[in-house]
Amino acid sequence: MNNPIVHRADPALDLEFERVVDVRPALVWMAWTDPEHLKKWFTPAPWQTVDCEIDLRPGGIFRTTMRSPEGEEFPSSGCYLEIVPERKLVWTSALLPGYRPKVPATEVVGCDFPFTGVITLEPAGSGTRYRALAIHADPQASRQHAEMGFHDGWSSALDQLVESVRGM
């Protein structure tokens, strides 16, 4: 049996966001793993996610295209690393599907660094304890991601996720 890796944040390298939301883990999981649902909430408004491809397996693709309010599009692709249904989702923007290294190593909106994202979900009463962790290679990348608005952006996106699945 596989034991999931426990990811602990390094404050010098990583950014972390945690909150309890009033929707079940199954709905949060669906919002993260169904391309049509993900497009509804993934990018903080007024930005939009206009395209999404998900091959939900280790080595599978996680690809999105974001559109700015001015109409400029920003594609981003990565590779899933770990999947524990309704509990944990790990992907990286440093690899393409099949764990193929990217050349160049980046393709992230407005930045020049790859990162690994870890989403963990835990039941919390009738809701979900939601934790997002962005793992960076160096303090500069972490700082750049923070300055791009990591906390506000991921918080707004989570609000949009909750609204998109509430009542389902």
- Per the CB < 8 A criterion, the answer to whether 63 and 80 are in contact is no
Q: Which alpha helices (H) appear in 34-100, and where do they start and end?
A: 35-41
Residue with tokens 């559109």: 67
Spell out the domain ranges in the chain: 14-165
Mean pLDDT along residues 102-118 = 68
In whole angstroms, what is the distance from residue 135 CA to residue 116 CA? 5
In whole angstroms, what is the distance from residue 112 CA to residue 15 CA? 16
pTM over 0.85: yes
7-39: per-residue pLDDT in tens?
677 888 999 999 999 999 999 999 999 999 999
119-147: per-residue pLDDT in tens?
999 999 999 999 999 999 999 999 999 99
In whole angstroms, what is the distance from residue 31 CA to residue 143 CA? 28
Amino acid at 101: P
CATH superfamily for 14-165 is START domain (3.30.530.20)
Amino acid at 67: R
